[in-house]
Structure 1
Amino acid sequence: MPTHFDGSAREKRSLNLFIKLIRAAASVETRTSGPLTTVGLTSSQFGALETLYFLGPLPAGRLAEKHLKSPNNFTVVISNLEKRGLVSREKAPHDRRVVMIELTDAGRAEVERTMPAYVQTIVDNLEVLTAQEQEQLGELLRKVGRAQT
């Protein structure tokens, strides 16, 4: 659905691209969420688990930053994972104001169990593009993501 905004050609082009970008991201996320839904996780929760799995324990604020979320918003994600026993919170020994988030054994096992099906679902959904198109789109999205206005 294109924009109905009555602006300049530049404004309409930008708005139409923005709409396509947001709709495509939402559509892919919905289509790839099956393996996560099956185990009762949201994409934000699994993203946090995956980050901790590959990077190790992180301060809560850094974990939120890696997911482009505010620390206050991400606290809910962490709390829900902690309730399920998938992560733990510990005060950092070097600075008691810093809360470190760490995967538990159950969290590590959940990532290892869920990751293969999740990755396969993503691969299947993105194969609508050739390998070259995937690389090009990745570069374009990186350029947009890093733009300074």
Structure 2
Amino acid sequence: MTKIYQHSGTHLFLLFWKASHAVMRYDQAGINNAGFSSLTDFAVLEVLLHKGSLPVNTIGEKVLLTSGSITTAVDRLERKGLVKREKSELDRRVVLVHLSESGRELITKAFAEHAANLDQLFEVFNDEERAQFAKLCRKLGGYAEKMTQ
């Protein structure tokens, strides 16, 4: 059996993987407590809250969903009365997704709780560590993206 050396690529990946799963479980619990059954529903509403009305495919790109998955998610949110689809006034071929009033109320409250939960989680880092963490994440993500092109 091959030994995994401390600070090797394999060791660092395992640390990152375990930490990311723990953070996602923490985040998912908060999202569930805010009344959402899925991260997808929360993410779609959050994008609309912060970016405004968008075409379905653009929302999918922003929340990392395929065209089929984002269509299903928007259909589900529309049935719940949280979003509405309307043709763009500028280009009638484009269908924009808007937050409904009830969707805006729900995501505004839920996002405030979500942000507070994440601020609490990252209190484990001081300001310098936060800046270093952000820099290292951007560096690793950019390098991994470059390596897959």
User: TM-score band (shorter)?
Assistant: 0.7 to 0.9
From 16, 27, 31, give the equivalent of 1:32. 27
Amino acid at match of 1:128: V
Is 1:111 aligned to residue 91 of structure 2?
no
**Corresponding residue for 1:77?**
73
In 2, Cα distance between the equivalents of 1:23 and 1:46? 23
Shift of 1:58: 0.7
Check conservation: 1:60, 1:101, Cα contact below 8 A.
yes
Once residues 50 and 21 of structure 1 are traced to their aligned partners in structure 2, the CA distance between those partners, rounded to angstroms, is 26
Gaps of 5+ in 1: none
CA spacing shift, 1:61–1:109, aligned 2, 3 Å: same
TM-score, with structure 2 as normaliser: 0.81
Root-mean-square deviation over aligned CA pairs = 2.3
Give distance in 1, aligned partners of 2:4 and 2:116: 42
- 1:118 aligned partner, one-letter code: H
% identity of equivalent residues: 26
For residue 102 of structure 1, the aligned residue among 80, 98, 108 is 98
For the Cα contact (< 8 Å) 1:90–1:100, is it kept in 2?
Answer: yes
C-alpha separation between the residues in 2 aligned to 1:79 and 1:20? Answer: 37
Give structure 2 stretches of 5+ with no counterpart.
none
Task: State how many pairs are aligned.
Answer: 142
Measured in 1, the distance between the counterparts of 2:101 and 2:12 equals 43
Alignment partners' CA distance in 2, 1:67 and 1:13: 31
Residue number in structure 1 paired with 2:54: 58
Q: Distance in 2 between matches of 1:100 and 1:71?
A: 15
| Contact 2:49–2:108 (CA under 8 A) maintained in structure 1 | no
Normalization by structure 1: what TM-score? 0.81
Distance verdict in 2 for CA 1:95–1:144, change over 3 Å: farther
Q: Distance in 2 between matches of 1:79 and 1:17?
A: 40
Is the contact made by 2:4 and 2:10 (CA closer than 8 Å) also made in structure 1? no
Does residue 1:14 correspond to 2:2, yes or no? no
Following the alignment from structure 2 to structure 1, what is the Cα–Cα distance between the partners of residues 40 and 123?
23
Shift in Å at residue 137 of structure 1?
Answer: 0.9
Q: Please list, as runs of the form range in 1=range in 2, the aligned pairs for 1:129-144 lying within 5 A after superposition.
A: 129-144=125-140
Instruction: Give 1:23's aligned amino acid.
Output: K
